Amino acid sequence: MLRSTAFRLIGIMLSLLLFTGCAGAVEEPDEPGLLLGFSQIGSESAWRIGNTRDIENSAEEYGISLMLENANQNQENQIDAIRRFIAYKVDVIAFSPIVEDGWDNVLMEAKEAGIPVVLVDRDIRTEKEGLTTCLIGADFYNEGVMAGQYLIRKADELGLEEVNIVEITGTQNSTPMEQRQAGFADTISSDPRMHILESIDGDFIKSRGAECMRYLLETYGEEIDVVYSHNDEMTLGALPEIEKTSMIPGKDIIIISIDAGQEAIDVLKDGRINCVVECTPNLGDELMEIVFKLKNGEEVEAVIHPTEQVFSDEMDVNSIAPRGY
């Protein structure tokens, strides 16, 4: 629970003590501000840590009290957190679903309690109507498209006739994993030079990125022309594994990553990554705007995608401004 929430609770308790403890004291407790319950997936990446920090900062700026729970990469923990938010009667629930399936029951409970739910960063899969109000997050499919388009341009530039790709994916059954994979596959499918040798689950985690890369190098060795990794963390885990071989990442193997956190941009500047597609973690301001709108009973957009760009060796990488995450 955040400090701001704790202060709010202490404030309410003190007001209630005053209110109940002093006979004749008729002062009502102050109208409490808006209370937002937010269930975060975990701390698996610099992106995620930046996203948490951004939501905390925005809540403070907008004067919204935040109950923040970190689920440590566990869906059950997220479901428990949402139930606590319902029991606590927060004004709005927001969460970043670790995977797409398995939310119907708890979201029905939120709906029955009359608490609007906002999806942040990732989507859910459901047959039921009206469980959530709005999704604020990246267009992951387009990120995959931008990664694929870069690869086609790079293959043209290098005059490649065959392009063997290994893909290190994010968490299975999560929105960014599914859509980054689909956007990339759809884009390169019209180019007969492109072959995906294998897609392997790296769970968005650095150590898994390293493990996956070790396995891919053992299995395919110098056949590999391209590593397409679904996030920076896994890319940063994979690079030292490539460097243990005679191959040089960024030269002998084209490296494509997603997120564009500072560490990956620094590695792009060193020439060890060729392309990083941006995925911004800065979703806090949009979220707070939506919280206000929902509280006021206003209509909200069903989907809000931030604008994102591509950073690559096709540009002057030294002009890239500090990323902040």
- Residues of this chain that interact with ligand AHR (CB under 6 A) are 44-45, 47-48, 121-122, 176, 204, 231, 233, 258-259, 279
Task: Give min distance, CB of 308 to ligand AHR, in A.
Answer: 11
C-alpha span between 83 and 102 (Å, rounded): 14
C-alpha pair distances (Å), 140 with each of 164, 178, 217: 23, 8, 27
Q: Which is nearer to ligand AHR, 44 or 56 (CB)?
A: 44
Q: Give me 258's structure tokens.
A: 């997603």
Residues 6+ apart with CB under 8 A from 87: none
Give how far Cα 191 sits from Cα of 168, 186, 218, 266, Å: 21, 10, 27, 31
> Which CB atom, from 48 or from 154, has the smaller least distance to ligand AHR?
48
The CB-of-102 to ligand AHR minimum distance in angstroms stands at 17
The single-letter code of the amino acid at 119 is L
Tell me the C-alpha distance between 112 and 114, whole Å. Answer: 5
CB 272 within 8 A of CB 239: yes
Least spacing, CB of residue 203 vs ligand AHR, in Å: 9
**Which of residues 164 and 175 has its CB atom nearest to ligand AHR in the complex?**
175
According to DSSP, the β-strands at 310-312 and 275-278 are: antiparallel
Least distance in angstroms from the C-beta of 121 to ligand AHR: 5
CB 151 within 8 A of CB 228: yes
Q: How far is the CB of 184 from ligand AHR (least distance, A)?
A: 14
Mark 23-52 as b/e (b = at least 16 C-beta within 10 Å): eeeeeeeeeeebbbbbbbbbebbbbbbbbb
Q: How far apart are the first and last CA of the chain?
A: 23
On the CB side of 241, how many CA atoms lie within 13 Å of its CA?
21
Task: Kindly tell me which of 166 and 283 has the beta carbon lying closer to ligand AHR.
Answer: 283
> How many other C-beta atoms lie within 10 A of the C-beta of residue 13?
11
CB 122 → ligand AHR: shortest distance, Å? 5
When the beta carbons of 46 and 217 are compared against ligand AHR, the nearer one is 46
Nearer Cβ to ligand AHR, position 109 or 263? Answer: 263
Nearer to ligand AHR, 122 or 272 (CB): 122
| Least distance to ligand AHR, CB of residue 124, Å | 13
Kind plus residue range of the DSSP H or E element containing 294: helix 284-295
Q: How far is the CB of 137 from ligand AHR (least distance, A)?
A: 7
Select 35 or 267, whichever has its Cβ closest to ligand AHR: 267
Q: Which is nearer to ligand AHR, 97 or 249 (CB)?
A: 97
Reading the block at residue 245, the tokens are 């071989």
CB of residue 261 to ligand AHR, shortest distance in Å: 8
